[in-house]
Structure 1
Amino acid sequence: MDGLVHPVRTRRRVAFPFAAIVGQEEMKRALLLAAIDPSIGGVLVFGDRGTGKSTAVRALADLLPPMAVPDGCRFNCDPAEGPPCVDGCAHAGAAIAVPVPIVDLPLGATEDRVAGALDLERALSSGVRAFEPGLLARAHRGFLYIDEVNLLEDHLVDLLLDVAASGENLVERDGLSIRHPARFVLVGSANPEEGELRPQLLDRFGLAVDVSTPATLAERVEVVRRRDRFDRDPLGFARDWEHDAVQIRERLHEARARLFEVGVPDVVVEAAASLCMALGTDGSRGELTLLRAVRALAAFDGKDAADLGSLRAVAVTVLRHRLRRNPLDETGSAARVERAIADLLP
């Protein structure tokens, strides 16, 4: 624990401990990988309501060390990047530590609220044209969570696609022209029965997982017990799980620190490419995401190099949402990936 910086808890209510979430191992692993290497591209969670999706995201952020921002900055600038990222930003202020932001994007949000717009209050009161940052600025260097992302309006999807591709948000309206960084881990949840995602947005998620309501009586009972205890005594419940949280926090911290020291042998790269070829995925994004995911998992597991075991562990999560539909094959996408793994990586 020596030398580790722990999350600042004073500005955010106590989160349900990540380690205390019952089951949902694939979802928890996907979120950890995205936190270790944000370039993986975020996480899309398919499944039932009430299965701990938003709880897991907020719990993960509580494991991350606080980030440094200039005091008074509303754009979450990184002081280590040098000059102010936006004209008028309070970048010269002393750096303070703040929690990694978790920002919810409501389905009914307007484009002004998401991207930012003219600060009407200052414009009317003092005649100053000033920019009011939106949700994208708040999410910079953190997480942007969208529940039921498949129901998001098209104009907001277009905005997210532009920002995801460039890492910046450009606002040009009301006489303003503002450009600020907007890099975040995108986490979305979706119920496939309520509508499909646009292919362009689906492709932007690096990882996709399926979650479901616990299938056994013992699991359902344990979920209820833990949640009830947390609701009655959040601090006491968090203390009981602090040892487990410390272990995950240390592994996460070490994995982020040594990520790019982890090697990925040619045999793993070739196996990833062979798997994508066998499944007929489009482009090279599948292979690149597999490469990043196996490296992040190996780093989290304390390995010096990824291996075929790491590839088997993440392949379904990386590829299940990248498969073309096959009308002659009624099996699910996860089963198709597993079948390909069995054929190519026995």
Structure 2
Amino acid sequence: MTPFPFAAIVGQDEMKTAMILTAIDPKIGGVLVFGDRGTGKSTAVRALAALLPPIEAVKGCPVNSARLEDCPDWAQVTETETTSRPTPVVDLPLGVTEDRVTGALDIERALTRGEKAFEAGLLARANRGYLYIDEVNLLEDHIVDLLLDVAQSGENVVEREGMSIRHAARFVLVGSGNPEEGELRPQLLDRFGLSVEVTSPKEIDTRVEVIRRRDAYENDYDNFMAEWQPQDVALRARILDARAALAGVRSSNVALHDCASVCVALGSDGLRGELTLLRTARALAAFEGADEVTRAHIREAAPMALRHRLRRDPLDEAGTGARVARQLAEVLP
């Protein structure tokens, strides 16, 4: 059964926009989705997998390399032909072992053939795609440390059992969770490019529409998909067009000044906030068909790019989203 269509998700516009922008420019750095249970977080990630354009990868390459010379030596790939594969979206479950994430010695080959061979893990499968972590705030600390290392270097290094293995591991990290069940470590929080908050809809009509579409998906699948799949196809085409146009989107000195001004006003640490804000605004401009980043793009991108980078203020009871909106109104009127 094909995942629920991305275009058919009701509401949650900021979450959908954030995921589309990371599909346009993976360098934005991933999406963190925090909110109530049952608000479509996991559904959106599954739908994203069906929405994304396929990738070209060498046949038999365990890390989805686009060229034979990029395939790791340990994989012993000799095939030069490439094939079209769906963009990988890999689940990283809670309680997963380090061996399963990074890869380890292939025990079966070691026992049956006496060969020391490497069995690729989840990071290899996620290369050039998405790594999805549900309940990311409950992830064990040693797995968090591992992900931080790989996210920073773009490479997975395994040194154990007499093996020294390296391979590319560049992926977009998508995490979801309920803030009531625990906080996320600041180091991992900073690795997400965008952060969005989703809530249960309060409008009766919206909730009815959610029920109607889900019921149609489960009980009238063919007609439902015939209605919504063309919209997914059109959205995929817009993403591809935006990817092609991204390099040509201009960022004026005024736009750079606006990005820096907002981050200084909010007191965000380091310069990652400015860089992410600019990348997000540029991707948004490309998606909307604009050839230059405007203040409107920066205003729309700022809450997603900055709300999770703010320092805690015990004297300010407003949420981070409200604090960003307040500073935007002052700095970028």
Which of 126, 138, 148 is the matching residue for 1:161?
148
User: C-alpha root-mean-square deviation of aligned residues, in Å?
Assistant: 1.2
- Residues 210-264 of structure 1: per-residue CA shift (max 9 Å, x gap): 0011111111111111111111243432221133223211110100111111011
SS of equivalent residue, structure 2 residue 156: strand
Equivalents in 1 of 2:110, 2:34: separation in Å?
43
Equivalents in 2 of 1:38, 1:217: separation in Å?
36
Which of 306, 317, 326 is the matching residue for 1:330?
317
Distance 1:264 1:57, change over 3 A: same
Equivalents in 2 of 1:89, 1:250: separation in Å?
36
What corresponds to 2:165 in structure 1?
178
Alignment of 1:1-346 (within 5 A): 13-79=1-67, 82-90=69-77, 92-346=79-333
Preserved CA contact (<8 Å) 1:45 1:209: yes
- The residue type paired with residue 239 of structure 1 is A
Distance 1:233 1:89, change over 3 A: farther
TM-superposed CA distance for 1:100, in Å, is: 0.6
- Residues 303-325 of structure 1: per-residue CA shift (max 9 Å, x gap): 01110000011111111000001
Preserved CA contact (<8 Å) 1:149 1:190: yes
Distance 1:83 1:193, change over 3 A: closer
- Residues 282-306 of structure 1: per-residue CA shift (max 9 Å, x gap): 0000000011000000000000111
Preserved CA contact (<8 Å) 1:14 1:235: no
Preserved CA contact (<8 Å) 1:72 1:93: no
Equivalents in 2 of 1:86, 1:215: separation in Å?
55
Preserved CA contact (<8 Å) 2:74 2:118: no
- The residue type paired with residue 62 of structure 1 is A
Preserved CA contact (<8 Å) 2:195 2:304: yes
SS of equivalent residue, structure 2 residue 224: helix
Q: State the TM-score, normalizing by the size of structure 1.
A: 0.94
- Residues 102-154 of structure 1: per-residue CA shift (max 9 Å, x gap): 11101110000011000101100100111111111111111100011011000
TM-superposed CA distance for 1:82, in Å, is: 3.3
Equivalents in 2 of 1:167, 1:126: separation in Å?
33
Preserved CA contact (<8 Å) 2:106 2:117: yes
- The residue type paired with residue 242 of structure 2 is A
Preserved CA contact (<8 Å) 1:202 1:321: yes
SS of equivalent residue, structure 1 residue 185: strand
Unaligned runs of 5+ in 2: none
Distance 1:128 1:207, change over 3 A: same
Preserved CA contact (<8 Å) 1:77 1:91: no
Equivalents in 2 of 1:271, 1:235: separation in Å?
48
- Residues 158-179 of structure 1: per-residue CA shift (max 9 Å, x gap): 0000000000000111111110
TM-superposed CA distance for 1:33, in Å, is: 0.6
- Residues 155-200 of structure 1: per-residue CA shift (max 9 Å, x gap): 0000000000000000111111110000111000121111111110
TM-superposed CA distance for 1:83, in Å, is: 4.1
- The residue type paired with residue 114 of structure 2 is G
SS of equivalent residue, structure 1 residue 320: helix
Unaligned runs of 5+ in 1: 1-12
- Residues 1-49 of structure 1: per-residue CA shift (max 9 Å, x gap): xxxxxxxxxxxx4121111000000000000011111110100001011
Equivalents in 1 of 2:53, 2:33: separation in Å?
24
Equivalents in 1 of 2:235, 2:306: separation in Å?
26
Q: State the TM-score, normalizing by the size of structure 2.
A: 0.97
Distance 1:138 1:319, change over 3 A: same
SS of equivalent residue, structure 1 residue 72: coil
Preserved CA contact (<8 Å) 1:47 1:212: yes
TM-superposed CA distance for 1:92, in Å, is: 2.6
